[in-house]
Amino acid sequence: MFVTAILIGLTLLTIYMSKAHSYLSDKPETCINCHIMAPQYATWGHSSHREWTNCNDCHVPHNNIFNTYYFKAMDGLRHATVFTLRREPQVIFIKKQGSKAVHQNCIRCHSALLIDPKLSSWTEDHDGHRTGRKCWECHREVPHGRVNSLSSVPDARVPHPSNPVPEWLRNYLKN
């Protein structure tokens, strides 16, 4: 009985501390639960994409709802593991699965633009490039800019998760 209670208690603490419940939402703030994602948040927050997209709009596939949540769960678990084990690299690069999802999402929103015949006439071999390459091989600044190491934006003000110890407890401990 006690053992089970301890286990449940510890699990609840882990859920609370890791803000596990927030992962069900699409809020970009959720992605900086891990503070190492601050540069990605800050650069997105200074880009035009912030007006229309959140992280999941681009980084999670949207072809069907099961795939969306499957991808989100797998990716989330991998991230959580890496972060907890302190295995994050200094510079984060997108993985193959992730880049496939992003590319499909570029197309999902910008399809009208992509099939616009005017674009083909303006931009040399846009047809060839858009099928053979990834969008950001040319549109390199979209949307995170080019400087993206963990320490690239030390002064950016991003809404990091606040201190998990409640205010009343902190005050009580202080006195």
- CA 6 to mean position of chain CA atoms: 33
| SS3 of the chain: helix, strand, coil, percent, to 5 | 60, 0, 35
Residues 103 and 135: beta-carbon distance below 8 Å = yes
Structure-token match 């997105």, residue found: 44
Binding residue for other proteins, selected from 104, 123, 149, 170, defined by CB under 8 A? 149
**Shortest Cβ distance from residue 18 to other proteins (Å)?**
5
Q: Which stretch binds other proteins (CB under 8 A): 8-16, 66-74, 93-101, 105-113?
A: 8-16
Tell me how far apart the alpha carbons of residues 150 and 156 are, in angstroms, rounded to a whole number. 12
Q: Is 77 in the site for other proteins (CB under 8 A)?
A: no
CA nearest to 92, candidates 35, 24, 15: 35
Q: Which stretch binds other proteins (CB under 8 A): 12-20, 23-31, 69-77, 106-114?
A: 12-20
Q: Is 31 in the site for other proteins (CB under 8 A)?
A: no
Q: Which residues here bind other proteins, judged by CB under 8 A?
A: 1, 3, 6-7, 10-11, 13-14, 17-19, 32-35, 38, 83-85, 145, 147, 149, 151-157, 160-164
